[in-house]
Structure 1
Amino acid sequence: RHWNVTNDFTCVLCHSGTWEDWQHLFFGCQFSQRIWNYLHIQWFAGVDLKQIISDTQRSFGHPFFVEVVAISCWHIWKERNRCVFEGIRPSFRSWRRDFIEDISLLQHKFKPPWVGPSSFG
C-alpha cells in the first residue's frame, strides 16, 4: 500500500519530540490546542477524566459540546493518519474545512443563534 510507516512514536502533528499518546494527541499537542482555542474550549486540568469533561462542558455553555468534541477529535485523528500513512503535512485549514463540513450535517439539532456558517466559521 506504500504507507509511510516508521518506528518513530513521537507526535507528527507538532514535531515537539513528545511521545504520542492519546492525551498528548488530543489535548497537549500544539496542533490540538490551536483547535480548542479556535472552538473556545478550555480543558480544565485534573486527575479525574469524568470531572475534567464535566467542568469543560459546563464552561463551554452550549448544548452540543459532545458533538463538537467528538467531531474535533475525529478530524485530529484523520490529520494525524494522513501524515503517518500518506505523508501529507497536517493543516489547520484542512482540519477546519472537514470539521465544518461534518458539523454542518448536525445543524438540524442546533437552535438559533447556533445555526449557520457564523457558528464555527
Structure 2
Amino acid sequence: MDHIVLPSYNCVLCQNNVEETLFHLLMDCPFSQECWIFLGLFPNSDEEPYSILESFKNQINVPFFMEIIILMSWDIWMARNDLIFKGINPTIQGTIGFFKLLFTQVFHRVKESWKPQITSWLDHTL
C-alpha cells in the first residue's frame, strides 16, 4: 500500500515547528515580530487579533496607522512566498526595504494633510 506524503504546514519563516496560521505568520512568528519591532510596534501574541490592532493604533498614534499595518502584513506575506516559491531567504532588512519602497508609493496617493505626518513618521522610524 502506498502512503501519501503531505507537505508540512509548519511556518517556513521560523524554526519553531509551529503550524503556520495567519495569526502565527503575521503576529506570533519571531520573524514577523522583528519586522513589527523595527517599526516601533510591539505585538502581544497573548492578545486577540483585534486587541493587537488596537494596540498598534495606540502605539503609532497617526491617522495612517492602517496603511502601515496592511503594508507590513503584505511584506511579511511576500517574504514567506518568496521563500516558498522562489527559494529566496527572507531577511528583516529586505522586508523593511520592501516596506519603505511600498510606503513611499503610498505617500503619493494620500491626503495632502497627512503628508507632513508621514514624512515625520518616516524620518523618525525608518
Native 8 Å contact 2:39 2:125 kept in 1: yes
> Which structure would you say has the larger Rg?
2
CA distance in 2 between counterparts of 1:58 and 1:95 reads 23
**2:115 alignment partner, SS class:** coil
CA distance in 1 between counterparts of 2:124 and 2:105 reads 13
Structure 1 residue 14 displacement after superposition: 1.3
**2:116 alignment partner, SS class:** coil
**Correspondence 1:27 to 2:27:** yes
**Correspondence 1:97 to 2:102:** no
Structure 1: gaps of 5 or more residues: 1-5
TM-score normalized with structure 1 length: 0.82
**CA root-mean-square deviation:** 2.0
Query: CA 1:113 to 1:64, structure 2 compared with 1: closer, same or farther past 3 Å?
Result: closer
Equivalent residue for 2:123?
118
Native 8 Å contact 1:100 1:120 kept in 2: no
**1:9 alignment partner, SS class:** coil
Native 8 Å contact 2:31 2:92 kept in 1: yes
Q: What's the CA shift string for 1:44-91, capped at 9, x where partnerless?
A: 4434x4344223312321111100010000010000001111111111
Native 8 Å contact 2:33 2:43 kept in 1: no
